[in-house]
Structure 1
Amino acid sequence: MGLFDSVKAALGIRAEADATRDADPEDLFGMSTAYVTMYADLDFDSVGAAALCFSSVDSTDFADTVDEIADLLHAGEEETGTEFRFHEDDNGYSWVVLEDGDEEDLVTSIHFAADTLVERGYGSRLLAAVFGFARDGDRAYWIYSFRRGAYYPFAPRNGDHDKQLEFKLESVLDGELTVEPDKEYWYPLWPDRRGGHPWE
């Protein structure tokens, strides 16, 4: 396991130990207006995709819960056109990846999936929701940590992250989103492959 993998794993292990409150999917709706601000104030467009990260449980009930999420998203796909797929990354974390040009649909679908896990008693398995943006070849992400009940920015660049851009994102969106005040918890979610999104 490399350094980036260790940091990714810390999102679940360390944040669980230092969790501030139970997961609340209602916090995700703050991203609806954040999409507008990201474009209007920073010229960042949505990448048309978002994802929910969670740790699985080897049980029939949990498998049934994931099937229920798939059923809900299938119904939404027919109504809104939001495409979805499940993915397991190199660290063994599970992802629900959603693709849609309508940001409201992305937020709503992420909420449905997260809320289902909470209602079925698996809120503690929720790790993060990730929303992607792009501007002139640069990428930026807003990551919601369910364990901390707060968002934080992540701006990858050439195998490192652009701290100046992350601080800029914080200054513009703080107040509109609940931004994690302790930067020690701004875990970079590196993708499994170079150039991919955190959920790839």
Structure 2
Amino acid sequence: MGLFDTIKQILGVNAEVDATSAANPDDLFEMTSAYITMEANLDYVPAGDAALCFSGVDSTRFAQAVEEVEAILAAGEEETGTVAQLHEDDYGYRWIVLEDETFEDLVTTIHFAVRTLEDHGFGSRLLAAVFAFEKPSENHTVYWIYSFRRGSYYPFVPESGQERDSQTEFKLQSVLDGELTLEDDQAYWYPLWPDTPGSHPWE
């Protein structure tokens, strides 16, 4: 995973020290109305992909919690068609990667996974939820990232050569202000670079 530096640094330890508010998993549901505004005002639609990133711990209780999450994901695939894959990146961080054309199902599945980890006492291991959007008229993907250490969303719009489209990020911030719990401090708009240009951050 080509993640700017390492996820532990950018979304973990540093953000935990500087955290201004505790994350509320119900903030995830803000996306179910925000995406409608994005489509109406900016022509962005859900790309059908989302992911949850969390750090692991070597314990039986954690393994049991992950097994319960996997059971929830399997049930979700049967009921809603949400396809889920779990994998570990090169830094040892866990990703739940979801695919579903129904955006609300993506949000609900991530929320269930988050609540399950919290119920087992591993809420502190949660790092980020990432939602992908695209503009049909362009080959352009944008992301909304929810930082569990900051309890807020921020936009990420990658371009080729590990450059960011700051203008589009600011436009997204402006349009979604009032609908999402936004990160006001742009110093915490951490990029999540993929290994391969044009792919998702979790790939």
Change (3 A) 1:179 1:76: same
Report the count of equivalent residues: 200
Q: TM-score with structure 1 length normalisation?
A: 0.95
Residue 24 of structure 1 and its aligned partner are, at CA, apart by 1.9
Q: Unpaired runs of 5+ in structure 2? A: none
Residue 194 of structure 1 and its aligned partner are, at CA, apart by 2.3
Aligned to 2:159: 157
Aligned to 1:177: 180
Change (3 A) 1:69 1:3: closer
* Greater Cα shift, 188-197 or 63-72: 188-197
Letter in 1 for 2:163: D
1:95-154 deviation line (CA, Å, top 9, x unaligned): 100100000000000100011111111010000100001111111000001111100000
Report the RMSD for the aligned CA atoms in angstroms: 1.6
Aligned 8 A contact 1:23 1:123 in 2: no
Aligned to 2:201: 198
Letter in 2 for 1:174: D
Calculate percent identity across the aligned residue pairs: 63
Aligned to 1:147: 149
Return the alpha-carbon distance in structure 1 between the equivalents of residues 152 and 168 of structure 2.
18
Aligned to 2:49: 49
Return the alpha-carbon distance in structure 2 between the equivalents of residues 29 and 54 of structure 1.
19
Change (3 A) 1:2 1:137: closer
Letter in 2 for 1:86: L
